[in-house]
Amino acid sequence: MVEYQSKPYYRITFSLALGAFLIFCNLYLFQPMLPQLALEFSATAFQINWVFAITSLVLAVSLIPWAVYSERQGRRRVMLMSLFSLPVVSAVMILSDGLVLLIVARAMLGLCLAGYLAVGVAYLVEELSDKAFTHAIAVYVAANSVGGICGRLFGGLLLEVGRWQVAVGVMALFTLMGALCVMYCLPKQQYFKAKTGLLRHHNRAVLRHFYNKPLWIAMLIGGINFALFVNLYTVMGFRLVAEPHNLPVGIASMIFLCYLAGTFSSSLSSKWRGSTSMGIGLGTMLMLVGIVIAYIESISAMVLGLLLISFGAFLTHTLAYAWTSKKAKTGKATAVALYLVHYYVGGSLGGFWLIYCWQQGAWFGVLLGSLPLIALLFVLCFSLVKQPVQSEFSHS
CA distances from 182 to 4, 11, 76, 138 (A): 20, 9, 10, 19
Q: Cα 80–86–90 angle (5° rounding)?
A: 165
| Beta strand spans in the chain (E) | none
Look at residue 197 in the predicted model and tell me its pLDDT. 59
Q: How confident is the model at residue 64 (pLDDT cuts 50, 70, 90)?
A: confident
| Model confidence, pTM | 0.84
Contact by Cβ (8 Å): 283, 333: no
Q: Cα 112–230–314 angle (5° rounding)?
A: 95
Which has more confidence, 207 or 11?
11
Find the range with the poorest average confidence among 89-93, 268-272, 301-305: 268-272
Q: Cα 325–281–366 angle (5° rounding)?
A: 105
Contact by Cβ (8 Å): 137, 321: yes
Helices (H), 272-331: 276-293, 299-327
Cα separation of 94 and 54, whole Å?
Answer: 17
* Domain 7-185+196-386: assigned CATH number: 1.20.1250.20
CB atoms within 10 A of CB 144: 26
Look at residue 310 in the predicted model and tell me its pLDDT. 93
Give the chain's mean pLDDT: 88
Look at residue 340 in the predicted model and tell me its pLDDT. 81
Cα separation of 49 and 222, whole Å?
Answer: 21
Instruction: Please state whether 394 falls in left (phi above 0), alpha (psi between -120 and 50) or beta.
Output: alpha
Q: How confident is the model at residue 122 (pLDDT cuts 50, 70, 90)?
A: confident
Among 152-166, 281-295, 372-386, the range with the most confident prediction by mean pLDDT is 281-295
The secondary structure element, H or E, covering residue 365 is helix 332-386
Region 42-70: what's the mean pLDDT?
A: 91
Using CB atoms within 10 Å of the CB of residue 192, give its burial: 0 to 12 exposed, 13 to 18 middle, 19+ buried. middle
For 201-256, the pLDDT digits (tens) are: 666 666 666 666 778 888 899 999 999 999 999 999 999 998 899 999 889 999 99
> Three-state DSSP class for 174?
helix
Look at residue 55 in the predicted model and tell me its pLDDT. 96
